[in-house]
C-alpha cells in the first residue's frame, strides 16, 4: 500500500514535531528514529499503543512522482509542494495507523496534501482522523486473536489436568 504526502521541503517538520502533534491528539505514539531529524529515505520505526512497526519511506521531487501516469490526476492540486514523501507498507494495521497519524501531523504542521495511491483517493484531515480508529480496532482484533491462540492451549491443559485429577480421584474412591 502506498500513501503520499506532498509538501514544501522547507516546511518539512522534525520527527519530534510530528510526534508531539500526534501525542497532543491523545495517541500513545512514539518515533524511535532520531527525533531531531526529518523523515528521510529508507524507513521509519515507530509505535502506536505499544505496537512497534516499521514502514518504508521515500523522498522524491513532487514533479517526478506526478509525472508517472498513475499520478497525473494529482497535478491540478499541487501549487507550491515540491517534495513527495511516499509511505509504503503491507498488511500491518499498526503501520497504517502510524502513517495516517503522521499524515495528519504533516497536514497540521505543513499543509501537506495526502493521497492514497492504491485507490487514487485524496485524503482530507477529517478522513485521516476517521480512519485511525478503524486501523486501531483491526489491530486490537488481531492482538486479541493472537492472545486467544496463546490462551487456548492453556485452557486445554487445564481441562486435561482436571480430567487427570478426576480420574485420579476416581481411582482412590
Which H or E run includes 151?
Answer: helix 125-171
**Which residue is associated with the grid cell 480496532?**
137
Nearest residue to 108 (alpha-carbon basis) of 95, 124, 122: 124
pLDDT of residue 157: 45
Q: 56-83: per-residue pLDDT in tens? A: 999 999 988 887 667 888 989 999 999 9
| Phi, psi (deg, nearest 5) at residue 142 | -60, -45
List the grid coordinates of 116: 492514497
Residues 6+ apart with CB under 8 A from 89: 1, 53, 55, 56, 95, 96, 99
List the grid coordinates of 26: 491523545
pLDDT exceeds 60 at position 166: no
pLDDT of residue 151: 42
Rounded to two decimals, the pTM is 0.81
Q: 85-136: per-residue pLDDT in tens? A: 999 998 889 999 999 999 999 999 999 999 998 888 999 999 999 999 999 9
Enumerate the β-bridge partners of residue 3.
Answer: 87, 116
Query: In whole angstroms, what is the distance from residue 20 CA to residue 17 CA?
Result: 5
Query: In whole angstroms, what is the distance from residue 104 CA to residue 129 CA?
Result: 7
Amino acid at each position: 500500500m502506498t500513501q503520499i504526502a506532498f509538501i514544501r521541503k522547507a516546511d518539512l517538520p522534525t520527527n519530534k514535531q510530528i510526534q508531539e502533534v500526534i501525542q497532543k491528539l491523545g495517541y500513545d505514539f512514539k518515533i524511535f528514529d532520531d527525533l531531531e531529524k526529518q523523515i528521510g529515505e529508507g524507513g521509519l520505526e515507530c509505535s502506536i499503543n505499544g505496537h512497534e512497526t516499521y514502514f518504508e519511506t521515500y523522498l522524491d521531487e513532487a514533479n517526478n512522482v506526478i509525472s508517472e501516469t498513475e499520478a497525473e490526476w494529482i497535478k491540478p492540486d499541487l501549487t507550491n509542494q515540491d517534495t513527495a514523501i511516499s509511505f509504503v507498507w503491507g498488511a500491518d494495521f499498526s503501520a497504517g495507523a502510524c502513517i495516517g497519524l503522521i499524515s495528519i501531523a504533516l497536514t497540521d504542521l505543513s499543509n501537506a496534501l495526502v493521497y492514497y495511491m492504491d485507490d487514487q483517493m485524496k485524503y482530507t484531515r477529517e478522513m485521516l482522523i476517521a480512519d485511525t480508529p478503524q486501523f486501531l480496532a483491526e489491530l486490537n482484533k488481531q492482538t486479541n486473536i493472537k492472545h486467544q491462540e496463546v490462551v487456548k492451549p492453556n485452557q486445554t491443559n487445564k481441562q486435561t489436568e482436571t480430567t487427570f485429577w478426576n480420574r485420579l480421584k476416581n481411582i482412590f474412591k
